[in-house]
Amino acid sequence: MPPRQTTEADYQRRLLRAQQVLQERLDAPVDPTALAQAASFSLHHFHRIFRARMGESVMEHVRRLRLERAARRLRASADARLLDVALDAGYESHEAFTRAFITRFGVPPSEFREQPPSRVLAWQQAHAGAPGVDVQVHTYPALRVAFMRHRGSYADIGHLWQRMQAWATQHGLLGADPVLYGVCPDDPEVTEEALLRFDACVAVGGGFTATDEVGVMDLPGGTYAVGMHRGSYARLAETYLDVIGRWFPTSGYEPAPEAVIEHYLNDPEQTPETELLTEVRVRIAD
């Protein structure tokens, strides 16, 4: 029997399936056997491969995601009790959570909550008195998408979109009016740049299932604050900061500590950069 030709892309896709299981069941006990099966690796080799490719063990990965979600929640919700945040992050006591939080972020959670995010503060100072972007509140149903994932700097996602669009074209999903989304699960104020996740997505039918090339997930339904970004994608961070740093504090709403969704309304191949339109959707906490 000839040896199997396992490529780096194959390993990335298989590990993505394990990451997706962890991401979707972040509050559940970790099941190594289910993760290995999801990634089509033997349990004997799965943990070594995960650590080698991800730079952290499975449990380190889970603990980091839980702590980063807790950090986002602390800044998003002024009313969240520290003990509740600690319990949601998987810690049985405020003290254990505080020790882990200090190890990860360098300050206690109470102090972290009071510190304004440096990017938001810089944006507020630079745009004091300037008109903000148009923000509206809309409710959307859940939406099924196929996606490919990038890990690292947001500045490097161009190649990911090339792969995603080539796949979508091959499968007849890029017609006259394609429905493309970007999903940003992490906050650059909380997550190290090398670990930032970005998912390039295209809407698919409800019965679509994952393939070797793409994963499948549902973008959550709910009520969103939607800021309209006009212009270059390279300046999308400005609209993020406007929605989160200007609109939310005066709106009476709180942002949910979830992924921010970008909805691309026109084709960059056929639209001048100055006329590109992108909805920046931030889900409003229930």
206-253 pLDDT tens trace = 888 888 789 999 999 999 999 999 999 999 988 998 898 889 888 999
**Sequence spans of domains, the chain:** 8-55, 60-115, 135-283
Q: For 165-183, write each residue's pLDDT tens digit.
A: 999 988 888 765 668 999 9
Convert 18-51 to b/e letters by CB count within 10 Å (16 or more is b): bbbbbbeeeeeeeeeeebbbbbebeeeebbebbe
How far apart CA 168 and CA 181 sit, in angstroms, is 13
pLDDT for the residue numbered 227: 96
Give residue-wise pLDDT tens across range 105-163: 999 999 998 887 777 777 677 666 666 789 999 999 999 999 999 999 998 999 999 99
Fold for 135-283, please state it. Answer: Multidrug-efflux Transporter 1 Regulator Bmrr; Chain A (3.20.80)
The pLDDT score that the predictor gives to residue 2 is 46
- Confidence (pTM): 0.89
In this prediction, residue 131 carries a pLDDT of: 67
**Radius of gyration of the chain from Cα atoms?**
20
Proportion of the chain above pLDDT 90, given as a percent: 64
**273, pLDDT greater than 90:** yes
Q: State residue 176's pLDDT score.
A: 59
pLDDT band of 52, cuts 50, 70, 90: very high
Q: Which of 1.10.10.10, 1.10.10.60, 1.10.3720.10, 1.10.287.3510 would CATH assign to domain 60-115?
A: 1.10.10.60
Query: Positive or negative CA dihedral for 44, 49, 50, 56?
Result: positive
* CA 241, 237, 161, 26 torsion-angle sign: negative
Contact assessment for residue 30 and residue 60, using Cβ atoms and an 8 Å cutoff: no
For residues 100 and 245, what is the distance between their CA atoms, to the nearest angstrom?
27
CB 22 within 8 Å of CB 149: no
